[in-house]
Structure 1
Amino acid sequence: MSIRKKIADSEAVLNWVARRIASYIRMVNSNTNWQRIGYEELDQLTEQGEPVIVVLWHQRLVQSPYFFPLDKGRICSITSAARAGSMVGRVQKLFGMDTIAMSSRKRHVALSREVLGKVKQGISIGIAADGPRGPERVSSTVPLIWARTSGKRVFGITYSAKYGREAGTWDRLLMPRPWRNEGVFLCREWTDLVPRKATEEQIETLRLSLERHMNDITAEADRMMGREPWSKGT
């Protein structure tokens, strides 16, 4: 094994990196004047112990530890078992979130059983609809499958910031400026019903509906912060 790989796989190094990333996220949060819009229903459900499905875009992952009211309830984030996804999980754990690593070696049935076990414990589930590798802002069917199986309500959550830049990653990850910034967290329920015995055509229609919902709320948040909304192909 090469020195570089040993370092990259070192638990001490990975934990150090996770703490540095968490420090940046906390700095952004504390030095930004935030608006929190549309959370009334989610807050009420969480206080009542009712779990939900939370959906976000991978591009807005940075501030995800502040998407959910952790002071009112628990949430489990679904991450990739690959190195980058594993780092996301490490960071989110530092904020008190539960995580489940999704890998190609883990059978879908086993993953679903694990997810539904969390839901039965009253723990909400969070997932990036286009993660972990994209394509950018193309929703998978995974949130629909879990909404259908669990019967839980689905909330799209996003954020935007006035000052920040997009990283040169596949998702164009938004990196907010960690000082003297303005930002908004926007939460809105996706209200389409996912039938228990939905056909492939119905699932595709619902997938596109969820995709539009996420793009709409993210564009709204961006406009509030004076950012140019995302458009396909740009």
Structure 2
Amino acid sequence: MRKGAFQELSVLRELFSADHPLLRHLPCWGASFLSAWHRTCRFHVVGKAHLRAALDKVPGGLLTTWHFAFPSVLYFFRHVNGILMVSRSRDGEWAARLAHCLGFQTVRGSSHRGGAQALRAMLRLTQKGHPAGLIADGSQGPPLRAQRGIVWLASVTGLPLVPLSLAADAAWRLPSWDRTLIPKPFAHIVIAAGDPICVPRRAADQDLEAFRGLLETRLHGLTELAQKTVSRTEALPSVPRGGGWAKRFRHQTLV
């Protein structure tokens, strides 16, 4: 790449930096918009016992889902005082700031960069009762393929993986690598959680791969379950719009 192109790229990176004075408040504006958008939707939960166990136990579990579900999952769990692992990339900085505006704490790192430090921070916080969230297919994909690092984290921490996925009866899909799901206003959203996956400590390489495949299979099955459930909106119980805060979730009778 020629020198001028490098300079132009550097200028663009600086212009769209999360620390740029004109963009500094963008994550909180985005969080407000995300909340207002999802408040028009109705949330239904399949497998509520698995979620409640992960949220109420100390330490709980590692909630893990696909990257495409990130916006709605972030909104739904916004008031549970959760902890998210976010990559150290430039895009990760935007995601971390958005998560902070929604009430999450974040640790910065991944299985490829800064993972050990992030893992120690996450372990300390989960021991204090903070539920943790992870993206199964990572920050860059490939999409819908569980990464081995997620299973390794579960093995090191000794915390169970709690898989979950979602579907909406009316939604758009962004032209991004993960095909991010954006529910349309007033949509029904079904969140499906499955049985926890307990990965033995110091698991051998072949065992990690086996659990990675199991996690991937469970997530695909939960996505299908959510899609089948949300297609029967007439059979879903009536719940208030905008669900997702901790008190309402824990005390309501959901699916």
TM bin (shorter chain): 0.7 to 0.9
* Cross-structure match for 2:200: 195
SS of equivalent residue, structure 2 residue 177: coil
Partner of 1:37: 46
Which of 72, 92, 102 does residue 95 from structure 1 map onto? 102
- Residue type matched to 1:199 in 2? A
Q: Give the equivalent residue in structure 1 for 2:174.
A: 167
- Give TM-score, length-normalised by structure 2: 0.78
Equivalent pairs, count: 223
| Structure number, greater radius of gyration | 2
List per-residue Cα deviations over 1:179-228 (Å, max 9, x = no partner): 2221112222333x32223221111111000001111101211222349x
Contact 1:33 1:183 in 2 (8 A): yes
2:229 maps to what in 1?
224
* Match in the other structure for 2:122: 115
- Structure-1 residue corresponding to 2:65: 56
Q: Which amino acid aligns with 2:116?
A: V
Per-residue CA deviation, residues 37-77 of structure 1 (Å, 9 max, x unaligned), is 22224324533443210101001111122343734xx3211
**Structure-2 separation of matches of 1:50 and 1:112:** 14
* Larger proportion of strand: 1
Counterpart for residue 81 of structure 1? 88
Partner of 1:131: 138
How far is 1:106 from its partner? 4.6
Which residue of the partner structure matches residue 143 of structure 1? 150
Unaligned runs of 5+ in 2: 1-6, 233-255
Query: Structure 1 unaligned runs (5+)?
Result: 228-234
Q: TM-score, normalised by structure 1?
A: 0.84
Aligned partner letter, 1:30: R
The answer to whether the Cα contact below 8 Å between 1:15 and 1:90 also exists between their aligned partners in 2 is: no
**Paired residues of 2:66 and 2:135 also in contact (CA < 8 A):** yes
The 8 Å contact of residues 190 and 213 in structure 1, kept in 2 or not, is answered as no
- CA-CA distance at 1:88 after TM superposition: 1.3
Backbone CA RMSD of aligned residues: 2.4
CA–CA distance in structure 1, aligned partners of residues 43 and 196 of structure 2: 23
Q: How far apart, in 1, do the equivalents of 2:100 and 2:18 lie?
A: 18
1:186 paired residue number: 192
8 A contact 2:86–2:108 mirrored in 1: yes
Using the TM superposition, give the Cα deviation of residue 126 of structure 1 relative to its aligned residue in structure 2, in angstroms: 0.8
